[in-house]
Amino acid sequence: MEESQLRQHLTILGWLHLAAAGCAVLIGGFVFVVLNIIGVAIHDREATAILGIVGAAVAGFLVLLSLPGLFAGYGLLKRRPWARILAIVVGALHLYNMPLGTALGIYTFVILADAKADGLFRGAGSA
């Protein structure tokens, strides 16, 4: 693969990791809002409190899980040397998320396994 094509694929890969992580954050926010609305709608203080806690826990968990993907996407866009390793790890974890996560994981491996990709990240680290 030519270096210009590889640079374009790295940019696409960075944005895909940011988008996947952003979707997890949005889902967490959605769950939080829905559970709080349900809690208010049933007019039970105890249930409202429990659903609020559960909603906050689920949202916090999903945000926490999305942080490595956000960092990997940002690092790939900025060509940081640490981002290559992080993106490979995040891509491996995405393999279990069928079908889009699997596609993202495989795409991550294909692009970052290219021998020229290592040189692009080394050049960014030394500059």
Q: Show pLDDT as tens, one digit a residue, over the chain (127 residues).
A: 788 899 999 999 999 999 999 999 999 999 999 999 999 999 999 999 999 999 999 999 999 999 999 999 999 999 999 999 999 999 999 999 999 999 999 999 999 998 888 888 876 544 4
Q: What is the pTM of this model?
A: 0.88
Token pair 């993907």 in the structure block, residue: 69
127 falls within a domain: no
91 falls within a domain: yes
Residue 123 has a pLDDT of 65
Q: CA-to-CA distance for 74 and 14, rounded, in angstroms?
A: 6
64 falls within a domain: yes
Which tokens in the block code for residue 5?
A: 């094509």
Q: CA-to-CA distance for 23 and 9, rounded, in angstroms?
A: 21
Task: Look up the domain containing 18 and give its range.
Answer: 3-122
Q: CA-to-CA distance for 107 and 86, rounded, in angstroms?
A: 14
Count how many domains the chain has: 1
